[in-house]
């Protein structure tokens, strides 16, 4: 049992460090923002007749999920959802666009924040993590710098897939927002069935250009730095960090996108308070 736990810790650390290196590449990846508007997915899904479900779970203290996506991505999203319908599934969108305030880890619900802190404490064997380690892990799991958070670009979706007949979650090895060794898309710590389901769902999304973020099995994006880099296109991302200006979906590029969402002092204070 002890040996198995150490194996999981080593896998977790390796994936986390690989994820952080990926994020640092994304920090420098070129983006040529096209200022496409952010449109509301629920109304468009209803109009299309494709069966899609939208989560009503609050994961940010001050806001319910904002189900907006860049206009140019909607048709592909609906085709992917329709393909899942044909396979006997229903796509449930857990999250889409996030403002910078929503993205900040300290603005997430206590449940989300605590699950990450507990996982980092598990990694350190119960020792208080340094602010630097906390920042590195948060960067992979939540994106601590606006430039590298594709939810803030309006180009990413977090999804769950349901069985069309029963409404139950399709087995992907763990529920949405699980923070452990099963979180990574290619985790060896899930069953063969869960792995097949992940691969099939990823295939449906990839067919429409939505590529999987390797470090979370629920996250897919298109047209941004992640997708262009992972596809090897050599093209700059066309969707970058934006603010939502009005209800019509108008967006505005954000200056200084590399400024972190939280300071080391804030991290130190929050972790200390949690450990009291």
**Cα 102 to Cα 106: distance, rounded to the nearest angstrom:** 9
Q: What is the CATH number of domain 2-275?
A: 3.30.1380.10
Question: Which among 90, 92, 96 has a CA at the least distance from the CA of 60?
Answer: 96
Sorted by sequence, the CB contacts under 8 Å of residue 64 that are 6+ apart come out as 56, 58
* Predicted confidence (pLDDT) per residue in 218-275, tens digit: 999 999 999 999 999 999 999 999 999 999 999 999 999 999 988 888 888 887 887 7
Half-sphere exposure of 20 (CA within 13 A, CB side): 13
Is 51:100 a contact under the CB 8 Å cutoff? no
Q: What is the pLDDT of residue 58?
A: 87
What is the Cα–Cα distance from 232 to 31, expressed in whole angstroms? 15
Give per-residue pLDDT as tens, 221-237: 999 999 999 999 999 99
pLDDT in tens, 80-106: 999 999 999 999 999 999 999 888 877
| Beta-bridge partners for 160 | 92
From CA 240, how far away is CA 236, in angstroms rounded? 10
Strand (E) or helix (H) holding 157: strand 156-163
**Does pLDDT of 1 surpass 60?**
no
The pTM (predicted TM-score) of the whole model is 0.94
pLDDT score, position 247: 95
% of the chain exceeding 70 in pLDDT: 99
Q: What is the structure's pLDDT at 187?
A: 98
């Amino acid at each position: 049992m002890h040996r198995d736990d150490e194996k999981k810790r080593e896998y977790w650390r390796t994936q986390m460090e690989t994820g952080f290196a990926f994020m640092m590449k994304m920090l420098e990846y070129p983006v040529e923002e096209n200022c496409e508007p952010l449109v509301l997915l629920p109304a468009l899904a209803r109009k299309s007749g494709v069966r899609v479900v939208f989560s009503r779970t609050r994961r940010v203290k001050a806001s319910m999920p904002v189900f907006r996506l860049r206009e140019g991505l909607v048709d592909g999203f609906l085709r992917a959802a329709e393909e899942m319908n044909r396979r006997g599934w229903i796509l449930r969108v857990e999250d889409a666009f996030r403002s910078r305030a929503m993205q900040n880890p300290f603005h997430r619900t206590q449940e989300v924040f605590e699950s990450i802190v507990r996982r980092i404490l598990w990694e350190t064997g119960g020792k208080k993590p340094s602010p630097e380690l906390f920042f590195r892990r948060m960067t992979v799991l939540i994106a601590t710098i606006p430039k590298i958070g594709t939810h803030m670009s309006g180009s990413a979706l977090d999804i769950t897939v349901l069985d069309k007949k029963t409404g139950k979650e399709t087995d992907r090895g763990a529920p949405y927002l699980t923070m452990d060794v099963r979180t990574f898309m290619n985790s060896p710590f899930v069953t063969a069935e869960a792995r097949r389901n992940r691969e099939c769902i990823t295939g449906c999304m990839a067919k429409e250009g939505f590529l999987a973020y390797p470090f979370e099995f629920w996250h897919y994006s298109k047209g941004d730095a992640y997708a262009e880099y992972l596809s090897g296109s050599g093209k700059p991302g066309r969707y970058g960090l934006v603010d939502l200006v009005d209800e019509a979906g108008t967006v505005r590029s954000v200056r200084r996108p590399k400024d972190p969402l939280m300071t080391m002092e804030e991290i130190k204070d929050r972790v200390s308070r949690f450990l009291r």
